[in-house]
Amino acid sequence: MLTALKRELVLRKDELNKEQIETIYFGGGTPSLLTIDELRLLIDTVYDNYEVIEDAEITLEANPDDLSSEKIKQLAKLPINRLSIGIQSFFDDDLKFMNRAHSAEESKKCLTVATKYFDNITIDLIYGLPNMSHEKWLSNLKMAFDFNIPHISGYALTVEEKTVLHSLIEKGKVPPVDENLALEHYNILVAETEKRGYVNYEISNFGKLAYFSRHNTSYWLGYNYLGIGPSAHSFTGFERSWNVSNNTKYINALLADELPSEKEQLTEINRFNEYIMTGLRTIWGVSFQKVEKEFGAMYLQELKKSAERHIKSGLLEIELRSFSGGVLVTTKKGKFLADGIASDLFKITS
């Protein structure tokens, strides 16, 4: 697999037209299972084949049980400068409910060491669990604040079909997910982070100034990106591609110097709808000026008309910003409903 990853990096080095690399992200799955030497090999391959800016953000996703004290110390010697740690909860019963491998104690030990070696850390927390009280959710947040974590990603519990949780709910052994409870927890998250100087720059992401995820922000702002590895997706503005998900097929293709990927050209409607979806999730919103420039006056006219009822109901508002004129953004009331609002604003036919 490592040989294949390295080969893909080399074969695709010209796809971004020599754009400078600003962020590198080891994520999806558990890249922290790689050894220090394996991580160094992949990082060196990127630097050998791409132009990487001096202060690039290099993130590693990890679970607390993968981050021993020694592993953290070793990671700090690499160019990796940001850790994304899947804490999920600081309570053992929650972790057991979510079928997580680590314990609450491991999470605390991990953060105790990680905060000594890394300044830029983000953690994931899950809310909306059945029987999770407001007090318990507040305790989770307080623990993150006590560790002085500068970035928090908060996600509502979702139930996927064909999972153990879905089966338990179907059998009545676990209460179903309560959307009203999730909304209450989200409002607590917004209020508590705001008190402490975090900016809710994307619906699920809260960062202190200078600690926004530069990598994820590039997705939301429509920058080009290159995804390496099985199932990885790439984007070049007008084209999207994705690698085969099967590990064996992925490796065999690259050992034969073939790229195991498929591509699709994005239509104008695809690009417009994606801009609406990502824009409404962020503080940067949807720029009327950009819509008119990239898609035309008709798109802008239809967007304004579709947005009227959401503006009247207090879910959307228009902010006047000097650099781009009117910008359509979700209100505090509308944030939790942003994806549904966006779908109402989508253009269906040309």
Q: Could you give the domains of the chain?
A: 20-219 (3.30.750.200), 268-345 (1.10.10.10)
State the Cα–Cα distance between residues 143 and 109, nearest whole angstrom: 12
pLDDT at 229: 97
- What are the two backbone dihedrals, phi and then psi, of residue 330, each rounded to the nearest 5 degrees? -80, 145
Pair 298, 341: CB distance under 8 Å:
no
pLDDT at 323: 67
Q: Each residue's pLDDT tens digit in the chain (350 positions)?
A: 999 999 999 999 999 888 999 999 999 878 988 999 999 999 999 999 999 999 999 999 999 999 999 999 999 999 999 999 999 999 999 999 888 999 999 999 999 999 999 999 999 999 999 889 999 999 999 999 999 999 999 999 987 777 777 787 788 877 877 889 999 999 999 999 999 999 999 999 999 999 999 999 999 999 999 999 999 999 998 999 999 999 999 999 999 999 999 999 999 999 999 999 999 999 999 999 999 999 999 999 999 999 999 999 999 999 998 666 799 999 999 999 999 999 999 988 76
Q: Which residues are bridge partners to 326 per DSSP?
A: 320
Helix (H, G, I), strand (E, B) or coil at 294: helix
pLDDT at 239: 94
- 199 CB-side CA count, 13 A: 10
- What's the pTM value of the predicted model, to 2 decimals? 0.93
From residue 91, alpha-carbon distances to 57, 111, 153, 188 in Å are 31, 15, 17, 18
Pair 185, 132: CB distance under 8 Å:
yes
- What are the two backbone dihedrals, phi and then psi, of residue 88, each rounded to the nearest 5 degrees? 70, -50
State the Cα–Cα distance between residues 191 and 186, nearest whole angstrom: 9
pLDDT at 104: 97
Pair 13, 50: CB distance under 8 Å:
yes
Supply 181's token pair.
Answer: 């409870």
Query: 259-298: string of b/e by CB count within 10 Å (b at 16+)?
Result: bbbeeeebeeeeebbbbbbbbbbbbbbbbbebbbeebeee
CA 55 to chain centre: 21
Supply 241's token pair.
Answer: 């591609």
State the SS3 of 82-104: EEEEEEECCCHHHHHHCCCCCCH
**Amino acid at site 78:** L
pLDDT at 125: 98
Pair 174, 130: CB distance under 8 Å:
yes
Residue corresponding to tokens 């591509």: 263
State the Cα–Cα distance between residues 147 and 109, nearest whole angstrom: 11
Angle between helices 36-49 and 2-11 in degrees, nearest 10: 10
State the Cα–Cα distance between residues 18 and 20, nearest whole angstrom: 6
- What are the two backbone dihedrals, phi and then psi, of residue 304, each rounded to the nearest 5 degrees? -60, -40
Q: Please name which of 22, 21, 41 lies closest in space to residue 31, comparing C-alpha atoms.
A: 41
pLDDT at 350: 60
